[in-house]
A and B are shown apart, each in its own frame.
Chain A
């Protein structure tokens, strides 16, 4: 019981320590919101970061994202956050293991990669490198991922064509009235015959 209590207290202290001091009290920007929705939470088996935030791993990653998208870009702060997030002495103790790589490698990569004004794709690529591709909540627009994106549009287009063809085939064909008179070819043939007969009769 005491052990449980201490774990709960540890979670509380960590959450509050990590939250304090970050720029809060403002609404999240659309960019932050979008980022949270295109990266999966490294906990719980399913759901994006936007859908989970009461676990430490997700909270920390959100803070790194906020720092990466912040107007006051501070590389040292980001590196310190990365170290706190992915070091074994940090949140790993709480049972979360969000990253796939050793912390030193992650820090080295972060130092090399992050820069002010990172685009959405660059940030997503950064986290994909740290955690592997499973962190993406959407397939890439390349390789096998293309199939995921193109299939619904393909189905819709095929469906529209199919339904149009079905309707077309269902539509009653207008009744074509057969001409009582002879066709032009037949007519000229007939005229020739009449002329010939009239000639023969000397009329």
Chain B
């Protein structure tokens, strides 16, 4: 019954969306507001129906209705309830419906929030979002319908969810990723509307900047959370492998970040109007490209959905987006010209431009590496693999230049920086960075170039940011007579965008510290018998015990798998550090698919990371992979600081106040 309801809602929403598109076009043509009102009702209704359809599928997943092919493919009766829920985005059909549901939420929000605002922009904003919605509705209704029933007479039990997806991070990561990806539809819709209607003043840029900031932080959190999941779930000890699907999420992030920087120039100087338009269109196109990449099967990835015939449709949609965007950019190139000029090569504006160039170069480098196997196959008939070492060699230097610009940019003055001011601003941060790196190198015998360079830049950037805060507080204290704390907070409150940005930079620096730590990771493979003791650096590993657990011994926690568990007593510098219990699981509802459940003990400086290869239940001999991962925590902490900085910049209260005004 719910399946029928969900399917019907999906079909009717398709009809409503078509009607909404026609009504919007009639409004644009006839300037009759009744058509627009009608279109809004149609789009809100179709969006509500899509949400209803998604709820129907969730219901069927939760009650394990195996008459539905999708439910049978991605869940089983034994799958824990929360992972039945995440079955919604585990497969192609469900994930397309999930995509539609999130787009619908955004769509309703945009329509309601802009009831009286942007009257000139809204018809085309609605039309653009409607076109995106209809594309996904076509995919969902006609190609990958999640409500397809199992043929009559066939009795099936569920195949269960992939064990790798049975992790708490997978409950949050995909929704955040989708929120981030789909969120870029809104700035894109505003940009399209602005360029079509020639309303290229500051209004669309202010609206899209806030939307982009919200979307950007959601995408950032999603990317990092994906890394956290890979770290604790995939059992190889790292958090980023430059996999094509990971790269797909990074591409729009890079151009989105470039846009967030360059938009400041347009706000302050009314420059780079064409460039900003290109960036926002490119960012949206890259989200569709990422979706195409994961669903077309053109690149090999452990994270991709199985190859389907959807690829050609996504490719067609991508070509349509790019063609329309390029056509409009050419058509309106004169309107997008800026009259203002730069005054000097050494200015903050130039710094922003170089920063933008670097972000776009990084995006192109990642895109090139990701697509290179396809390119090489097309040219030479031979697919050449491009893995993480390639990306590391290309991206590490680029990342370090970007880190340097993070410190240099804020020290440059708007319009023009005099040589005297350059010397005054740069001398101490540069000296501090160099001295710190040299000391670190000498004291800890570090001879690797990149980590030393990274350390120097990290200290340099932190010094520049501290200097900015110090000068700001000092000036405010002198002018207002406030005490140091009040001056600090009111300074941030008065210029949230600027100081929020600095806090974001602190987060980025912390993450770079984490990335730098990777150069010092250690790894060892151990084969141990119970009672045996091994020493690795200052750690002592005592193999205590091993046992077997199943749904019979632990019905509450092992409903869909059996597990071999070993117990390790870890001592550090002679004192007790942790008890660890890494597991090797075999998922009974997934053809006994093996899966290593990693044990990690996290500290600020390093993680002690153990993966159980396997244990022989007869003799007790266990194979273990032990890693000491340096500074990983700094990546996660840096993300939290980055979130804090973004929240300061967005100023949530003002965001909603302005929206509802």
User: Contact between A163 and B345 (Cβ–Cβ < 8 Å)?
Assistant: no
Q: Which of A67-75, A145-153, A175-183, A184-192 contacts B (4 or more CB under 8 A)?
A: A145-153
User: Contact between B616 and A12 (Cβ–Cβ < 8 Å)?
Assistant: yes
Q: Using Cβ atoms and an 8 Å threshold, which residues of chain A touch B389? A: 37-38, 48, 137-138
Q: Which residue of A has the minimal Cβ distance to B390?
A: A138
Q: Using Cβ atoms and an 8 Å threshold, which residues of chain B touch A164? A: 345
User: Contact between B345 and A168 (Cβ–Cβ < 8 Å)?
Assistant: yes
- Does B243 have its Cβ within 8 Å of any Cβ on chain A? yes
Q: A8-B586, A170-B341 are in contact. Are A16 and B614 (CB under 8 A)?
A: yes
Q: Using Cβ atoms and an 8 Å threshold, which residues of chain B touch A33? A: 523
Complex partner residue of A139 from B354, B386, B621, CB under 8 angstroms? B386
Q: Using Cβ atoms and an 8 Å threshold, which residues of chain A touch B4? A: none
A104 to chain B, nearest CB (A): 26
Q: How far is the CA of A170 from the CA of B274 in the complex (A)?
A: 14
Q: Name the prevailing secondary structure of the A interface residues.
A: helix
Q: Which of B16-24, B321-329, B356-364, B651-659 contacts A (4 or more CB under 8 A)?
A: B356-364
Q: A45-B300, A48-B388, A162-B357 are in contact. Are A19 and B613 (CB under 8 A)?
A: yes
A59 to chain B, nearest CB (A): 8
Complex partner residue of A159 from B360, B586, B596, CB under 8 angstroms? B360
Binary CB contact string for chain B from 373 to 399 against chain A (1 if under 8 A, 0 otherwise): 000100110111111111001100010
Interface size in chain A (residues, C-beta < 8 A): 56
Q: Using Cβ atoms and an 8 Å threshold, which residues of chain B touch A47? A: 236, 241, 243, 302, 387
Q: Which residue of B has the minimal Cβ distance to A137?
A: B387
User: Contact between B387 and A159 (Cβ–Cβ < 8 Å)?
Assistant: no
Q: Using Cβ atoms and an 8 Å threshold, which residues of chain B touch A50? A: 236, 238
Q: Which of A20-28, A84-92, A105-113 contacts B (4 or more CB under 8 A)?
A: A20-28
Most buried by B among A33, A152, A166: A152
- Does B526 have its Cβ within 8 Å of any Cβ on chain A? yes
Q: Using Cβ atoms and an 8 Å threshold, which residues of chain B touch A151? A: 365, 368
Q: A16-B616, A53-B236 are in contact. Are A172 and B341 (CB under 8 A)?
A: yes
Q: How far is the CA of A81 from the CA of B621 in the complex (A)?
A: 21
Q: Which residue of A has the minimal Cβ distance to B344?
A: A171
Q: How far is the CA of A7 from the CA of B134 in the complex (A)?
A: 48
Q: How far is the CA of A53 from the CA of B357 in the complex (A)?
A: 39
Q: Name the prevailing secondary structure of the B interface residues.
A: mixed
Q: Using Cβ atoms and an 8 Å threshold, which residues of chain B touch A171? A: 341-345
Q: A24-B525, A27-B536, A171-B342 are in contact. Are A15 and B390 (CB under 8 A)?
A: no
Q: Which residue of B has the minimal Cβ distance to A39?
A: B387
Q: Which of chain B's residues 69-84 have a Cβ closer than 8 Å to chain A?
A: none
Q: How far is the CA of A15 from the CA of B625 in the complex (A)?
A: 13
Most buried by A among B361, B398, B534, B616: B361
Q: A26-B524, A37-B388, A171-B343 are in contact. Are A133 and B382 (CB under 8 A)?
A: yes
Q: A138-B389, A172-B342 are in contact. Are A46 and B244 (CB under 8 A)?
A: yes
Binary CB contact string for chain A from 4 to 44 against chain B (1 if under 8 A, 0 otherwise): 10011001110110011010111110000100011010001
Q: Using Cβ atoms and an 8 Å threshold, which residues of chain A touch B621? A: 16, 20
Q: Using Cβ atoms and an 8 Å threshold, which residues of chain A touch B158? A: none
- Does B226 have its Cβ within 8 Å of any Cβ on chain A? no
- Does A201 have its Cβ within 8 Å of any Cβ on chain B? no
Interface residues on B, range: 35 or more
Q: How far is the CA of A53 from the CA of B388 in the complex (A)?
A: 16
Q: How far is the CA of A138 from the CA of B372 in the complex (A)?
A: 11
Q: Using Cβ atoms and an 8 Å threshold, which residues of chain A touch B358? A: 159
B448 to chain A, nearest CB (A): 10
- Does B465 have its Cβ within 8 Å of any Cβ on chain A? no
Q: How far is the CA of A151 from the CA of B625 in the complex (A)?
A: 37
- Does A198 have its Cβ within 8 Å of any Cβ on chain B? no
Q: How far is the CA of A155 from the CA of B382 in the complex (A)?
A: 24
- Does A54 have its Cβ within 8 Å of any Cβ on chain B? yes
User: Contact between B615 and A144 (Cβ–Cβ < 8 Å)?
Assistant: no
Binary CB contact string for chain B from 611 to 642 against chain A (1 if under 8 A, 0 otherwise): 10111110101010100000000000000000
User: Contact between A170 and B271 (Cβ–Cβ < 8 Å)?
Assistant: yes
Q: How far is the CA of A4 from the CA of B594 in the complex (A)?
A: 11
Q: How far is the CA of A72 from the CA of B238 in the complex (A)?
A: 30
Q: Using Cβ atoms and an 8 Å threshold, which residues of chain A touch B617? A: 12
Q: Which residue of B has the minimal Cβ distance to A4?
A: B592
- Does A115 have its Cβ within 8 Å of any Cβ on chain B? no
Q: Using Cβ atoms and an 8 Å threshold, which residues of chain A touch B368? A: 148, 151-152, 155
Given contacts A24-B526, A134-B383, A155-B365, 19 further A-B contacts (CB under 8 A): A16-B527, A16-B619, A19-B613, A24-B525, A37-B389, A46-B244, A47-B387, A53-B236, A138-B386, A139-B386, A144-B379, A148-B372, A148-B376, A148-B384, A152-B368, A156-B398, A159-B361, A164-B345, A167-B350
Can you list the 5 inter-chain pairs with the closest CB atoms, starting with the nearest? A137-B387, A152-B365, A51-B236, A170-B342, A172-B341
